[in-house]
Amino acid sequence: MKKKIYIRFLRLRQHMGLLWPILLNTVVLFIIFFIGSICYHYIEGWSLFDGFYMVLITLSTIGFGEVHTLSTAGKWLTIGIIFSGVAYFALLVGYIVQLASEGRFFQIMRRRRVDKAIAALSGHCVLCGFGLVGRVVAKELADDGVDVVVVENDAKKSEEIEEAGYFLVPGDATSDDVMQRVGLGHAKALVSAMSNDPANVYVVLSARAMNPDLYIVARASDNRHIHKLQTAGANRVILPHMLGGQTIAQAIQRPLVESFMSHQNRNDEVQLDEFEVTDTSPLVGKSLAEAALTKQDVIILAIKNAASPILQQPRAATVLHAGDVLLAAGDKTSLKALRTLM
């Protein structure tokens, strides 16, 4: 029983952080005020308010004088209050002034506001690392309307992250305390985009343990670490330098293909997108010919059946089922119209 109480005490202290000294001193002062007011009431016969007021002016060392004439017992009580409470009162006021002057108090309040906002999110993406790769990932996700929670320990990037409209959780992504604040339980995905592969492995392992259903994409700097990241729980492992090299080679050998792929996000050009057929979709049970998707200026490039991870070449007679994933090409307006049918 004592051990459980002690563990709860430690958890409360850890949760309060910088506010713990304020809480502790406030509790002690409350006890002193309560006991002092009661004692003045019974020793001197004062009202509880007069007793409270006497304790207040005594601890604050204002020196207004006694509320009423004190007896010898009352004087000894006042001496006890001075020795027991003045130091706590000074510490409490001094600590609050220190937090306010250093701006830490406002940082604490802002952190709690962010934590509340993250707790209310659902289907968001957690991004660990806001470097060259992380910036691009965050922007692309935000452009698609996905809420992004960024974990970054570089204070110099904080202003940039917040100005971009992302939720910031400052700290080391390999810390369990930090990862518990990002709302992994109700997140859609996690991207570990740090340049340190061992750190990415640890983050992936922790995130998978916290949410077995989370979709995780990890960055790797060395292809020797791909298997480790996958074993840790990553659904996809991306090597940015390899993709960059392939894009450069594609630009030389197949410039039209590369131009199409790199500019597909522009509003006035053809885009690629994927759609999952839901149980309530009107397309369920219809063939591609019956669905007449081409009338919506959309081309179905491939279909992934729910029972097979292999992309299949679509045919006019191919029947759509719930859980099928369609890879489609079209302009932004047409793809948006197709999404409404899903």
- Does the pLDDT at position 119 exceed 60? yes
Do 330 and 309 meet the contact criterion of CB atoms below 8 Å apart? no
Do 30 and 89 meet the contact criterion of CB atoms below 8 Å apart? no
User: Does 96 or 218 have the greater pLDDT score?
Assistant: 218
- What pLDDT score was predicted for residue 1? 62
- What pLDDT score was predicted for residue 108? 62
Alpha carbon distance 180, 182 (integer Å): 6
pLDDT tier at 324 (50, 70, 90 boundaries)?
confident
User: Does 143 or 299 have the greater pLDDT score?
Assistant: 143
- Does the pLDDT at position 312 exceed 60? yes
- Does the pLDDT at position 313 exceed 60? yes
- Does the pLDDT at position 126 exceed 90? yes
Q: What is the mean pLDDT of residues 56-78?
A: 78
